[in-house]
Structure formats: structure tokens, C-alpha cells
Amino acid sequence: MDELATLLGRVALRDRPAFACLYDLTSAKLFAIAFRILRDKGDADEALQEIYIKVWQRAERYQPEQGSPMTWMAAITRNHAIDLIRARKPEASQIDEAFDLASESAGPEENAINTSEGKRIDRCMKTLESDKAEAVRRAYVEGLSYQELADFYKVPLNTMRTWLRRSLMKLRECLEQ
């Protein structure tokens, strides 16, 4: 992975041959991640181009102490693909599946930890009133705005903000136990 870190450093300096080499070494893996999430070859191809534009623009932000270059680029890929799904206004289950698929490249230990964390979050979500839990899901999984949620639940905007803030505080308390 030192080679990828070196290439990213050179890309940060706007070295086009280094960028081409980085693309050659990583595009198959990033395409696979995008394809798993988007489930369409054309969409994945298009997304991959946008992802590499982001890599080119953000290469100077890469910090080796926070993870490998491949992990950093995979996160950009996953986030971009999920943003594309959100733009289509999908159901929450599709986004949940996308997160699950994107993390399949993790090792068995990491998958076990993620599964355990997911169960803890589900358990804590059940401690919330059903409408509050659904509002949290819609806000933080589906990406609905406070205003969209307030309109949906027919409550004032400040009430929705209070619902979400209190729900997140309750979730944090539950997760810290």
C-alpha cells in the first residue's frame, strides 16, 4: 500500500502520470464497490469517473495515519454511490443494503464488529417512540431535511428539530451503556 500512498501524494501535487497509474491500480476495486451499490454497470461507470474527479481534487486531504489509501478511496466511492441512491429518494432498506454491501470487503473480524454494532443500534432504536425512530431513520438514512420531516409529520419545524435532538441524545445514552 506504500505505492498507493506515494501515488496519492504525487496526485496531490497534480502529477498526471501518477494519477493514471493510481487509476490503473485501483479502478477495478472501486468499480466493484460502485457496482455493488448501484447495481447498474452504466451508473457504476459514470460514478467511477466522478469518483476519480473527487480523488484528484481531494488527494491533498488524504492522511496516512487515518487509514490506507484504498480504504480512503473506497470510502469516497461508497459515499458517492450512496449519495446517488439518495438522490433517487429510495427506501431506507436500499440504503441499508448499500452500506452492508460496501462493507463486504472488510475482514471477518470487522464484519462481526459491524454486525454487533448494527444490533446495538437496532436495540437502541427500539427504545424510541415509533414515530421518533422513523423520523431519525428518515433524516439520517434517507437524508430528508428537517422541513421535509416537519411537513410529513405535520409538526412545526422547531418541534421536529427537538424530536431529532432528543432522540439522538437518547440513542447516545443507550449506546454508551
Digit-coded pLDDT (tens) for 121-165: 778 888 888 888 888 888 777 777 888 888 889 999 889 889 888
Residue-wise pLDDT tens digits, 150-161: 888 999 988 988
Alpha carbon distance 65, 29 (integer Å): 22
Q: Is 111 exposed, middle or buried (0-12, 13-18, 19+ CB in 10 A)?
A: middle
Q: What is the pTM of this model?
A: 0.52
Percent of the chain clearing pLDDT 70 (strictly above) = 82
Q: Specify the 3-state DSSP secondary structure of 128.
A: coil
Alpha carbon distance 33, 27 (integer Å): 10
In sequence order, the 6+-apart residues with CB closer than 8 A to the CB of 23 are 52
In sequence order, the 6+-apart residues with CB closer than 8 A to the CB of 15 are none
Q: How many CB atoms lie within 10 A of CB 151?
A: 13
Alpha carbon distance 151, 146 (integer Å): 9
> String of b and e for 61-100 (b: at least 16 CB within 10 Å)?
ebeeeeeebbebbbebbbebbbebbbeeebeeebbebbee
Confidence at residue 90, expressed as pLDDT on a 0 to 100 scale: 43
Q: At what angle do helices 157-176 and 130-140 cross, to 10 degrees?
A: 90
Alpha carbon distance 154, 139 (integer Å): 15
Region of 63 (left: φ > 0; alpha: ψ -120 to 50; beta: rest) is beta
Residue-wise pLDDT tens digits, 7-62: 999 999 999 999 999 999 999 999 999 998 888 899 999 999 999 999 999 999 99
Which domains occur in the chain, in start order?
A: 1-105 (1.10.1740.10), 117-177 (1.10.10.10)
pLDDT at 79 > cutoff 60: yes
